[in-house]
Structure 1
Amino acid sequence: MQANGYLLPANEAANHRRTRSGEGRGSGEKAKPSNRVRLNGNIARRKPGKRICEYWDIDLPGFGLRVNPGGRRTWFVLFRQRGKLRRVSLGTSKDITPATARRLARAKLAEVALDGLPTRKKARAAQKSSAPLIRDYAERFWADYSRHWKPSTRKRNESAIFKEILGAFGDKRIDELAKGDILFWRDSFVERPGVFNRTLPVLSVMMGYAERLGLRPRGSNPCKGTPRYKRKPMERFFDSNEYARLATALRDYEAEQPLYVAAIRLLIFTGARCGEIEQLRWEWVQEPRLMLPDSKTGAKIIYLNRQATDVIAGLQNRTPRGLLFPSVRNPEKPIKLSMHWPKIRNRAALPDVRLHDLRHSFASVAIRDNISLMVIGKLLGHALAETTTKYAHLSDDIVADAAERVSGSIARLIGLDR
């Protein structure tokens, strides 16, 4: 540990631990080795012993966990401040997660390290700024911005703003939020990485809009450069046997729910998004195309092949206007394919397959048929070419085969194939 500063020296930490556990310095007993570990959820769940035990983090000096025989586990931070040894409790393991405890410990140690330094910068900030709190700014941002989002995006972003962002930064002024705050906030999402990855872009947009309103300096967006959590891609591609099993399951289920089966077949043959097929209307059917006035990426054309055209032709009660796949209970509302998909995929022995994987599989088959990524992007309705490049790895075998054929032709031309 750092000496003569604000963190506890290693020898004093050892003496402090022995004193708190009842071991006298002059008793002649040999000191027990400290429990130095990486404090995480696994350590917090360890079964308590018959005596008080304290674990010390190997990465953050002074950060510890005290476990009582009765099972109470308390996070704490130990440091030296102005010559005195201090221990601050951060909360119990039931109340806060290991990541939050670590963040609080790091913040406390940083505060102690700055103790006694000039505070002129803070004084200036307190005098000058009349910027609103993020809690108040969020209301204006929502009123200005949410109208431009689609309903599903609006619902997701409402939770991100009013639950996650305001829960962490609601009482800060809009011009106070700094890069360090974002990094500390990121640490609290260790157990919810997907939530952070979805919330960070929303906060970034909020900060960018605040700059345009003059509430923050230009180019001061604290979210820029903050890394997202790396997650395993949730992509699943059908092979020929799985397509056969799915086809059998759809035939078996058709007598029970013909409308749902028809919609799923249209997903299979077009590679469209689930919501695009659920909300499809007859006035948008202009064979051999579906002319969608709006989608996730704006207006979109879905090209109908023979199989997709046959699916639409087989629908009953065709009308000039209205939904192709209306709900039985309320014809004005579309069906929800997610209601019956679990039964269908279980019949096909494909319990891990999502409806969106039909779209991924459409792209993978196109790759195997030597269709270029540019054309696949057009078929899927990608607004950006970069979106389609995630399927590029599927074409490795095709590219390798092409390279083999080209090199073979060159070899024949220069007489090296003999």
Structure 2
Amino acid sequence: MPKQIETRDSVIPYLVIVSYPSTGNCSYYMRASTGNRKRIKLGTSGELTLDQARVCAVKNNVPSLTAVDRTVDEVFDEFVSIGQLNAKRSIEREQKRYSKSVQPIIGSLSIKVIALTHVRRVMDGLAPALSIATRNRYLAMLRAMFRFAVTQGYCDQDPTRGLKLVREIQHKTYEVTDDLGGRLSEAVIWLDGHYPRVGALVTFLLSTGMRIGEALAIKWEDVDHSLEHITLSTTKGGKKRHVPINAACKKVLGQLAESTPAFVADSWLFPGVLPGKPMSRPVRPWKKACLVVGLPAALRFHDLRHIYASFCVKDGIPLYTVQRLLGHSSIRMTERYASLAHCDLQVASERVAKAMAVNFVERM
């Protein structure tokens, strides 16, 4: 049996399909009709269907690619179109990053003249306040785009090869103690007296474990009291999920409903200052509350989600259940909290030891 079989598509003559009989997979290529007839990879059967590969082949008009000198803007637009076909989750964020920080510097230049100095100029032009993680996302986006350009034959090499991603420092995970719980309660009380909506938001996050972006995107029509859950349409993973309404959450919802004037189903759970807009992230009131009650100044809204997960694990809730409560796509993301269950493991180990001792005694 041959390792691979190469055939031309019956619909698009310059679309080449390379099949691998041993795995049942295949790869899609386009071959130019002029010049060096370089074969350009479109993707694999795991990334594209045959129809999508045909669309890519027609859209890119391969026979004329070798004669065209493309700008960075044109290559990025094509890179985005491929990402949209593959349902790439981060494509919208990448478009915003490109238009804000990359396009003004190198967008109009030919992709063939871009060198490491141009990439450094883009990276140096990023806002100083950006985190290491965000800077890495910019570099990863540029790297993916230039590698796409090399694959398509628009340029000879990737100019980002001389730059490395900076090692990211993991955010501190706060240990759940009685002191931390007490100070969080004090912070909520202070916020209730000065910024009631923010106080309700903090309580809501602590009682549901939601991401703040998920909470601020909720409308009253997403709240189902009969089924006792909240439907989240805007999630990090892009998948709709349901969050159970517990007693603490139900109390917050009641307070919000009482304080919402002209209550309508399609209004925001946490409305903002501007009409028709949700609340923006209330960072300043939260920082003030942390300062007043003695919480760490670096404590973020996202840390409330970690604290919720930590409480779950320390209370003996199985990791699989915690994964579903948090909406993690993989159990590996939830396993970071496994060390917090050390006491439970110790108790379980002692129970096994006692059972084994009884069993051995009975046999003697």
1:252 to 177, 190, 198: 190
Instruction: Give the equivalent residue in structure 1 for 2:270.
Output: 325
Alpha-carbon distance, 1:381 to partner: 1.0
1:415 aligns with 2:361: yes
1:206 to 145, 159, 175: 145
CA distance 1:266–1:314, shift in 2 (3 Å): same
Q: Which has the higher contact order (CA 8 A, sep 6+)?
A: 2
Instruction: Give the equivalent residue in structure 2 for 1:356.
Output: 302
CA distance 1:186–1:311, shift in 2 (3 Å): closer
SS of equivalent residue, structure 1 residue 414: helix
- Count of paired positions: 284
Letter in 2 for 1:289: H
Alpha-carbon distance, 1:209 to partner: 5.1
Aligned positions of 1:162-201 closer than 5 A: 163=101, 173=111, 193-201=132-140
1:375 aligns with 2:312: no
1:268 aligns with 2:206: yes
Instruction: Give the equivalent residue in structure 2 for 1:301.
Output: 242
Instruction: Give the equivalent residue in structure 2 for 1:3.
Output: none
1:81-126 deviation per Cα after TM superposition (whole angstroms, max 9, x unaligned): xxxxxxxxxxxxxxxxxxxxxxxxxxxxxxxxxxxxxxxxxxxxxx
Gaps of 5+ in 1: 1-127
Q: Distance in 2 between matches of 1:374 and 1:199?
A: 33
Instruction: Give the equivalent residue in structure 2 for 1:392.
Output: 338
Letter in 1 for 2:361: G
1:334 to 278, 289, 294: 278
CA distance 1:339–1:145, shift in 2 (3 Å): farther
Using the TM superposition, name which of 392-401 and 380-389 deviates more: 392-401
Q: TM-score if structure 2 supplies the norm length?
A: 0.63
Alpha-carbon distance, 1:231 to partner: 2.6
SS of equivalent residue, structure 2 residue 361: coil
CA-based RMSD: 4.3
Considering only CA atoms, is the larger Rg found in Structure 1 or Structure 2?
Answer: 1
CA distance 1:385–1:320, shift in 2 (3 Å): same
The answer on whether the counterparts of 2:219 and 2:269 sit within 8 Å (CA) in structure 1 is yes
1:231 aligns with 2:168: yes
Letter in 2 for 1:290: I
1:164-204 deviation per Cα after TM superposition (whole angstroms, max 9, x unaligned): 699689857469989xx999x99999x97434422243235
The answer on whether the counterparts of 1:235 and 1:360 sit within 8 Å (CA) in structure 2 is no
4+ residue segments displaced more than 4 Å: 128-131, 142-150, 164-172, 174-178, 185-189, 207-217, 220-224
Alpha-carbon distance, 1:289 to partner: 0.5
Letter in 2 for 1:410: M
1:53-79 deviation per Cα after TM superposition (whole angstroms, max 9, x unaligned): xxxxxxxxxxxxxxxxxxxxxxxxxxx
CA distance 1:290–1:251, shift in 2 (3 Å): same
Q: Distance in 2 between matches of 1:186 and 1:322?
A: 40
Alpha-carbon distance, 1:140 to partner: 3.6
The answer on whether the counterparts of 1:366 and 1:376 sit within 8 Å (CA) in structure 2 is yes
Q: Distance in 1 between matches of 2:271 and 2:132?
A: 37
Specify which structure has the higher proportion of helix.
2
The answer on whether the counterparts of 1:274 and 1:356 sit within 8 Å (CA) in structure 2 is yes
Instruction: Give the equivalent residue in structure 2 for 1:159.
Output: 97
